[in-house]
Structure 1
């Protein structure tokens, strides 16, 4: 990595720094700043400092060098009255900041040298940073990639979310089972964030509405809340790569408006004295509280409204600093709703415009629709959020009134456009009738936005044909496809440093800002030395991961084996259990013929199951139970190894993706919206075994069908097979290998003789098999046999690996963001000039 990162130690306009400037970039100044921070901020000498002390000192050293650009960025946006992209997301899975910020500032290798000159281990210091677990998986990681690309493309933007005190749980494995423990990522503080208590806003909850009058004497609804909480913003600077742009990620923390009740305390009611504080802080306490209980569902809705209301109030405040009214709000603000979690923004923006700023309904509705746009991330009906009208009315009484009004006006128009079509009005309604009325948040987002997009070509097509088909019939012009992407800065440059150096040596460093330039690598495909180096780098990455697995799981694996990897959230539709069936098929073949010549494989799994999702947790148990048997069976003799890596997160992903040979993307066709792990694997040279689902289709198109191991039914075939009357038992009786796999599980072979342990997995496969594992099994094992044959020819495999990396330019999040900017948001880049910027001169 030296050649690429050393060449980047000069960030734009850093020549303005003078040698004695406290944020200078010279080695001497950086070293002095680091040691000063260790002494003055951590209050400790080098002789007593821990690795964590060194991390914090280095983090503040880097943050200081971000702030110059950060403040200038914010000031420029204010002065030039730019149009601001506001990304609303319940999740931001940012990963560790230190290494990424060093890269984007162009000071990674220089900093490494300074730290090592002090006799310290730079890599060990980087490892001290906790992963902020403020997301569950792809949704939050996509948001993080988008923030990186927005800053790197110099787009004025701000991310809005929640500063969860406890992120997604820390996963441990005990006796093969997932155990959740709190992820207290803030226990030692967070050096990257900047609290902004002076910009706190109030959030109202509960109560009732009354009719009143505005200052013009016109009737208006008045919301009398039962309680208010405070939303306190914390800003994290997000720098772009090789730019001066540093955009904010603003996360909200909940606090009570009155945190201590003296009367209750003096009366000896000590718990009651702080009850309001505890109730308020619960809102930003935990990412995704379990919603299997009424209290959990209420808390989730509180969380969603809390950050949406705070963010919209903040945007209005920012706008009115430089504009006389909100008439042009939609011309200066583009709000992107990342899935349905922030969909209440439709009703909240209407409330703020009508109730607080005295706009007429029609004027407010015009501004709202033109401001908001909605990204759909799922085809799963259960994931399209619905809230009971009763809960909504208790918690957000004014918003329920507004939603009913939106619905009535909308359906009146639908009846005019399509008279007599009761089915259509029922489908489009924001309210789902039944024993208990439900608010359909996806419908609300569709009606209240000017643009609706899916996240892969197939996903968008299925949205228009099925999930949101009636909205597509009504407003075809609203629908866009924006295939997801990931940032190559974190997922190649930071994660795969040796490969990054090789690529840059061959084609220059332009690929980091334009990933399409990776195509130039194809010119070296016939260069034997290049292929050899490519293969050596993959082996180095595999050896590194093998050492990590030995240290953390005490499992010895062979770096020369094929690393077959599936890391993602555990869910039935993602079909980790199909991969397990494939492992057992390999295992059965060996048991039947112990001398069988097979390609040695290491199967690596990682991912978390939602705490209330029993079947997903049982899949984790199955993986670990199969690992226990296979890894210790003398017949196998190391030809197969199975490893489950606990607590999969961004940092662990950075170890895994570069080391993978094979990427498992085996979801049932038509179920995965896009996927982003599939892109990270392919960028790092892994080949894909997968279905025609989500972005797999486009990855296969780009990489070439000959460089992709395809199997399984298509989405249309899945739909047709189910419509015709799918019977999984036909496959059980008709396929001896499949029958042997199922019988091996049911016999208790992997559960110490307890044949019923895994029956909650096996029984549905035999009865109705909702995700078509039985139908896809034979195709899957045949594709895996093709994988083995290809891997035997290492030269062929290396060529395929190179082509996968070289052809992934489409899947940079930079491309995705450019499309959003041009087609949905209508925003343009804004240059940040720091040559003559003096923060001290600002008023």
Structure 2
């Protein structure tokens, strides 16, 4: 049906009329999307089935990537691009008076993630399929995803996200459903002279799989993303049916329920066990159909846990191998620790999950028993290595002070622990996880993150992609390292002028979106300075705000000061329970209202907060960006991937030497990136030795004094609104060094403004960023995982 545009048009029109019984001009864009999506899914199915059969027949090792988040965004455009049918569809729809992008806009984002963690997982799945590697995603089918963000009177307000309505890509497989038990108790019994255990009186939840195809780039390989949905099941002893139904459906209702109270903590832990238990039961069942010897498991299956959320895979695999497969503890542990690998995504101690025993033990009684035994044996190993070192052993234990430490469990139970940027890995090895690195040096390694350049350049920026292919050929699409050949065009004025023209077009498109979405008219000739990412104190959206306040104040003090026009764009969601982050969102919007309504200032500065930042909005933002704000406190951002999406679209970074910024700077050279602020070792030294006094900067720098005072003195309408931010800087010692880095940041922003005014020179910087971005493709990252950790081969 996609062999020619005529055949496509005929099939498309016939399906529309047969389905809706209306004439073509009466059918909505949503209806058109639904039919086109169904047609594309049918087209995928043949390759999907063939890929499954090929993998099964080859008996090759398969990787299962477990993540509590996946953030794939919209599927239609990506699938059409990867299938190689974009031209047929575009031309056929054009004949019918439809732009393909209009149908794409009718698709809801699959919002199964919060930010970089989920988007990274989605990029990895794209690269696995595009490299013909047998790797599948395993996640949760959240009914409402994260949340839909609305900004009302400057405040973030959360609404349920109805992304599943009209989601055409999934295939429900109720015949593969499994039961997951919670609560109850553990009974011991003897069988054939062996002590055994069984989980009884449990509350059971049915896990129903929905498979979504993951299409490789024009290679006929289709892997799977399996999403589990919690549904009620019927079993003896069920009493309060209505309550059971509510509690069951809550398991996959929302991503990240608020865990400030025990009820939310229990629900989060339920989600984590639900994911790993359903996934492992399914994998073992599939394995058993092909192999008799369970000890072959690590040779044929790899389980990768994306951060600590799926770490319960370790005790769950142990439970299955001991209780259901009848293996000894030693054999089960050998299989488990040769099967599971773990990626750590943080250096923030508060982000390393810990679960109170009082919650875990009653909810997951058998799993807690196994974790307790893992801890006992692990501590014995430590005692043998460090006899008498009680303090050291206590600090490394899996269970201590009434809590289960999930990162410690992950390290003890996996064969590989990787960081996601060189700096991050070094901090893990020599500071945050130093004792574990000394005990398990062979387990630690680095795999710097990457992005799928096919979505973030080829799909998001077709004009730039066409220019690149015209210059160096299209080999870069499958071999992104070839982008480096663009360096040869740095003195080609015709090429640079085309680059300028494309950037201007993308800025005009984003300006139209800002007028439509935020009601703010911006100048496309101004500098587009953009910070879009999850809102967290360490990412320092506040430092960006302080720069804008500085410019505003200076313009008010000095009528001759006229900065080069700049449009500051923000996009971010704050976790519903993160009070401080929500205050920063309110501050950004209050500042936007003040700046944008001031006729003396708004010709030079505009501030725009784009609500409900998601993947599809990001696809419009990155191509238009000229300045990429990557200003996290050094040592706090594990890697970052937004920095890479900006880079590959030609934005120039202003940032700290944090995460992958370090490796970007190494490849770009100091002329093509603007670095400022404390280095990671300085931050870590302050944190370990003290010596930082934010009041010194508050009193010594009139700019800082004024800005901080404006948070509480009535400069903004509600003088008490931003007291928590003021207190975080002064009363709470400015944990993320905003005031310490302020002066350095302001100086580099002046350098940015000066450099931008030489457009040809700036465009050369932009070109260098594009040329050096190939290394940061997830194809490279995934190939490193495949070779260095998973040991898998292409199908």
Of residues 31-40 and 300-309 in structure 1, the stretch that sits farther from structure 2 once superposed is 31-40
Determine which of 427, 430, 433 is the counterpart of 1:468: 433
Aligned in 2, Cα 1:359/1:776: closer, same or farther, shift over 3 Å? same
The alignment status of 1:734 with 2:694, answered yes or no, reads no
Task: Work out whether residues 373 and 451 of structure 1, in 8 Å CA contact, stay in contact via their aligned partners in 2.
Answer: yes
Aligned in 2, Cα 1:369/1:44: closer, same or farther, shift over 3 Å? farther
The equivalent of 2:319 in structure 1 is 351
The equivalent of 2:337 in structure 1 is 369
Determine which of 777, 780, 783 is the counterpart of 1:812: 777
The alignment status of 1:321 with 2:289, answered yes or no, reads yes
Tell me the secondary structure at the aligned position of residue 214 of structure 2. Answer: strand
The alignment status of 1:117 with 2:95, answered yes or no, reads yes
Task: Work out whether residues 204 and 225 of structure 1, in 8 Å CA contact, stay in contact via their aligned partners in 2.
Answer: no
Task: Work out whether residues 232 and 249 of structure 2, in 8 Å CA contact, stay in contact via their aligned partners in 1.
Answer: yes
The equivalent of 1:56 in structure 2 is 34
CA distance in 1, matches of 2:104, 2:235: 37
The equivalent of 1:14 in structure 2 is none
The equivalent of 2:638 in structure 1 is 673
- Structure 1 residue 420: Cα displacement: 1.4
The equivalent of 1:512 in structure 2 is 477
- List aligned pairs for 1:266-665, cutoff 5 A: 273-433=241-401, 437-665=402-630
The equivalent of 2:712 in structure 1 is 746
CA distance in 1, matches of 2:37, 2:507: 29
The alignment status of 1:205 with 2:182, answered yes or no, reads yes
The alignment status of 1:79 with 2:57, answered yes or no, reads yes
CA distance in 2, matches of 1:29, 1:634: 57
The equivalent of 2:140 in structure 1 is 162
Tell me the secondary structure at the aligned position of residue 94 of structure 1. Answer: strand
CA distance in 2, matches of 1:692, 1:617: 27
CA distance in 2, matches of 1:693, 1:687: 16
CA distance in 2, matches of 1:755, 1:190: 46
Task: Work out whether residues 258 and 276 of structure 1, in 8 Å CA contact, stay in contact via their aligned partners in 2.
Answer: no
- Structure 1 residue 44: Cα displacement: 4.4
CA distance in 1, matches of 2:500, 2:179: 57
Aligned in 2, Cα 1:39/1:522: closer, same or farther, shift over 3 Å? same
Task: Work out whether residues 259 and 276 of structure 1, in 8 Å CA contact, stay in contact via their aligned partners in 2.
Answer: no
The equivalent of 1:89 in structure 2 is 67
- Structure 1 residue 42: Cα displacement: 4.8
The equivalent of 2:166 in structure 1 is 189
- Structure 1 residue 664: Cα displacement: 0.3
Tell me the secondary structure at the aligned position of residue 238 of structure 1. Answer: strand
Task: Work out whether residues 338 and 415 of structure 2, in 8 Å CA contact, stay in contact via their aligned partners in 1.
Answer: yes
The equivalent of 1:246 in structure 2 is 222
The equivalent of 1:828 in structure 2 is 793
CA distance in 1, matches of 2:440, 2:13: 60
Task: Work out whether residues 690 and 711 of structure 1, in 8 Å CA contact, stay in contact via their aligned partners in 2.
Answer: yes
CA distance in 1, matches of 2:418, 2:22: 52
Task: Work out whether residues 260 and 273 of structure 1, in 8 Å CA contact, stay in contact via their aligned partners in 2.
Answer: no
Task: Work out whether residues 101 and 239 of structure 1, in 8 Å CA contact, stay in contact via their aligned partners in 2.
Answer: yes
The equivalent of 1:755 in structure 2 is 719
Task: Work out whether residues 377 and 454 of structure 1, in 8 Å CA contact, stay in contact via their aligned partners in 2.
Answer: yes
CA distance in 1, matches of 2:70, 2:529: 28
Task: Work out whether residues 4 and 88 of structure 2, in 8 Å CA contact, stay in contact via their aligned partners in 1.
Answer: no
Q: Which runs of 5+ in 2 are unaligned?
A: none
The equivalent of 1:177 in structure 2 is 155
CA distance in 2, matches of 1:672, 1:44: 53
CA distance in 1, matches of 2:547, 2:428: 31
Tell me the secondary structure at the aligned position of residue 711 of structure 2. Answer: helix
Tell me the secondary structure at the aligned position of residue 439 of structure 1. Answer: strand
CA distance in 2, matches of 1:181, 1:517: 43
Task: Work out whether residues 356 and 404 of structure 2, in 8 Å CA contact, stay in contact via their aligned partners in 1.
Answer: yes
CA distance in 1, matches of 2:602, 2:539: 30
- Structure 1 residue 769: Cα displacement: 0.5
- List aligned pairs for 1:13-162, cutoff 5 A: 23=1, 25-42=3-20, 44-162=22-140
Aligned in 2, Cα 1:561/1:233: closer, same or farther, shift over 3 Å? same
- Structure 1 residue 277: Cα displacement: 2.4
Task: Work out whether residues 149 and 573 of structure 2, in 8 Å CA contact, stay in contact via their aligned partners in 1.
Answer: yes
The equivalent of 2:691 in structure 1 is 725
Task: Work out whether residues 595 and 602 of structure 2, in 8 Å CA contact, stay in contact via their aligned partners in 1.
Answer: no
Deviations 1:54-82 (A, max 9, x none): 00111011111110100000111111111
The alignment status of 1:766 with 2:730, answered yes or no, reads yes
Of residues 299-308 and 764-773 in structure 1, the stretch that sits farther from structure 2 once superposed is 764-773
Deviations 1:196-223 (A, max 9, x none): 1111111111111111234x44221111
CA distance in 2, matches of 1:501, 1:275: 57
Aligned in 2, Cα 1:330/1:748: closer, same or farther, shift over 3 Å? same
CA distance in 2, matches of 1:418, 1:484: 35
Of residues 718-727 and 805-814 in structure 1, the stretch that sits farther from structure 2 once superposed is 718-727
- Structure 1 residue 417: Cα displacement: 1.4
- Structure 1 residue 49: Cα displacement: 1.0
- Structure 1 residue 279: Cα displacement: 2.0
- Structure 1 residue 637: Cα displacement: 4.1
- Structure 1 residue 419: Cα displacement: 1.1
Tell me the secondary structure at the aligned position of residue 251 of structure 2. Answer: helix
CA distance in 2, matches of 1:431, 1:151: 39
TM-score (norm 1): 0.93
Task: Work out whether residues 170 and 183 of structure 1, in 8 Å CA contact, stay in contact via their aligned partners in 2.
Answer: yes
CA distance in 2, matches of 1:673, 1:790: 29
The equivalent of 2:213 in structure 1 is 237
CA distance in 2, matches of 1:260, 1:776: 63
CA distance in 2, matches of 1:719, 1:637: 40
Deviations 1:322-357 (A, max 9, x none): 111311001001111000000001000000000001
CA distance in 2, matches of 1:616, 1:75: 48
CA distance in 2, matches of 1:809, 1:614: 38
Task: Work out whether residues 594 and 636 of structure 1, in 8 Å CA contact, stay in contact via their aligned partners in 2.
Answer: no
- Structure 1 residue 25: Cα displacement: 2.5
Task: Work out whether residues 629 and 653 of structure 2, in 8 Å CA contact, stay in contact via their aligned partners in 1.
Answer: yes
Deviations 1:127-164 (A, max 9, x none): 00000110000000000000000000000011100000
- Structure 1 residue 595: Cα displacement: 3.0
- Structure 1 residue 259: Cα displacement: 9.6
How many residues were matched structurally?
A: 793
TM-score (norm 2): 0.98
Of residues 252-261 and 598-607 in structure 1, the stretch that sits farther from structure 2 once superposed is 252-261
Task: Work out whether residues 93 and 132 of structure 1, in 8 Å CA contact, stay in contact via their aligned partners in 2.
Answer: yes
Task: Work out whether residues 259 and 277 of structure 1, in 8 Å CA contact, stay in contact via their aligned partners in 2.
Answer: no
Q: How large is the RMSD of aligned CA atoms in angstroms?
A: 1.4
- Structure 1 residue 618: Cα displacement: 0.3
- Structure 1 residue 524: Cα displacement: 1.0
- Structure 1 residue 743: Cα displacement: 2.4
